[in-house]
Amino acid sequence: MSESATYDATACVSPAPARSGRRGTRPSRGSRTRPGSQAPRLAAELGPSDPGAPRSRLAVAIDDLAAVDIDALSDAELRQHLADLRQPLARLTALRASWSASLESRIIAGAPPQQRGAAQREGRLAFADEHQLTPSEAKRAVEAGKAARQHPETGQAFLAGDLSPEHVRVIDEVLGAVDAEHRELLEPQLLDLARGRHAVRFGRDARALLASFSPEDAAEAGKRKLARRRVRATDTADGGFAFSGLLYGTAAETARVALDAFTRPDVAGEHRTPEQRAADGFEQLCAAALRTDAAPSQHGARPQVLVVMDAEQLAHHEHRDGTGTARFARSGQPVTSTELGPLLDDCQLIRIVLDAERTPIEVSEAVRTVPVGLWRALLVRDGGCTWPGCDAPAAWCDVAHGHTPFARDGRLAPDNAALLCRRHHRRFDNGPWRIEVRGGQVSYQRTGRGVRNRSP
Ligand SMILES: [Zn+2]
């Protein structure tokens, strides 16, 4: 893991895209029913069918709303105004989804067979650009529009502003798992279930309904969804490690439980966003995974975060309070020894001697910067992270050097070291803190300086 890794995982549930291949039983019902049943409603909302007129009437209505002096409204009135926006916004979102799906069908039908995939992609990108949507938002909108056409009752509820595109995709996923007869029974139940539930909760309840209705179909649907599992990871130009992904079933639950287990609440004085808490939890999870014997070995060695630092830079680090520079071996990313603090305090050092052509000519045995005896002593004394309020167990902890850097004869001894979890080790290293060990009790005192200070 890079020190500056970024975190953007979505390891959970996502509604299904439309499965157009499974729609053979009612191929034309949606497209035939929708225009007739929706036309009066749309006309009432937007005006006559003159292409110029709907937009102008809509624009006038929005201008009227924008002209409301909200400073003159009471809180209750403002709340009511806000609530009144919900349905028109939902209806317009549904309309956009429905129209974009129709346009896409026409684009595909008008393209030569071998170019239909490319025409669909181009059409979606143009739609995304025009509406300032991300490609995945555009995809979800078009898919919801298509699904709404496949299931007329759902389509009507969608256009009435009762469902979000995500709700429609969930309904499509569940209805796509059963045969036509069951579909007619299930659809009204799903529409009932969707009321007053946000999409994630609705998705969970809708799949539970499917499982009770037809366990076999639910199992098949779960299996099909597994094919969409993915994790994407990439290095970013600013030195980060970005990743996103999607897991289902047991894999999703395993990831939820593991991330939860390593994500800790803030202690006093700590103010992290939920995303930062999850990022810290994820780093700790990865660090713990690399520490176990279960990590697969490569060339007989367990995978570890390797840092390459030349002797001169290491001396800088040891003698001048962390001014050395280094690079991570796996990614080649440069890193300062200040950022490396927690790793350099508690690591194995391997000396590699290079010749003039930078060919390794001698490799020393690994030397631990923290002797086993000291680790055991701290394990007994501290038991886990010593930061006030933190309950991270010892297995997550590094040994943090105390107030005397070892290069200044700061011999690593129990009175000059303590166990800290990764995030508190970093906080300690980068803050104005000093360790005090008295009678087996570790405490942290502010030095009054605003920067890293580990000098006596
Ligand atoms: Zn801690």
Measured in Å, residue 267 CA sits from the centre of ligand 1 at 9
Q: Residue 307: how many CA atoms within 13 Å on its side-chain side?
A: 26
If you measure from the C-alpha of residue 405 to the centroid of ligand 1, how many angstroms do you get, rounded to a whole number?
21
Distance from Cα 342 to the centre of ligand 1, integer Å = 12
Other Cβ atoms less than 10 A from the Cβ of 247: the count is: 22
Could you give the CA distance from residue 276 to residue 426 in angstroms, rounded to a whole number? 14
Q: How far is the CA of 313 from the centre of ligand 1 (A)?
A: 29
How far is ligand 1, taken at its centre, from the CA of residue 423, in Å? 6
Q: How far is the C-alpha of 103 from the C-alpha of 124, rounded, in Å?
A: 10
Q: How far apart are the first and last CA of the chain?
A: 32
Centre of ligand 1 from the C-alpha of residue 389, in Å: 8
Give the Å distance between the CA of 420 and the centre of ligand 1. 5
Cα 266 to averaged position of ligand 1 atoms, centre (Å): 10
- Please give the structure tokens belonging to residue 386: 């010593």
Cβ neighbours of residue 447 under 8 Å, at least 6 residues apart?
A: 432, 433, 434, 453
pLDDT in tens, the chain (456 residues): 333 433 333 333 333 333 343 333 333 333 334 444 444 444 444 544 455 556 678 888 899 999 999 999 999 999 999 999 999 999 999 999 999 999 999 999 999 999 999 999 999 999 999 999 999 999 999 999 999 999 999 999 999 999 999 999 999 999 999 999 999 999 999 999 998 899 999 999 999 999 999 999 999 999 999 999 999 999 999 999 999 999 999 999 999 999 999 999 999 888 999 999 999 999 999 988 888 777 777 777 777 888 888 888 877 777 655 677 888 988 889 988 778 877 777 788 888 888 888 888 888 877 777 888 888 999 999 999 999 999 999 988 988 887 654 444 556 778 888 999 989 998 888 888 888 888 889 999 888 654 343 332
How far away, in angstroms, is 388 Cα from ligand 1 center? 8
CA of 255 to the centre of ligand 1 (A): 22
At 275, list the tokens: 């995303």
Distance CA 285, CA 290 (A): 9
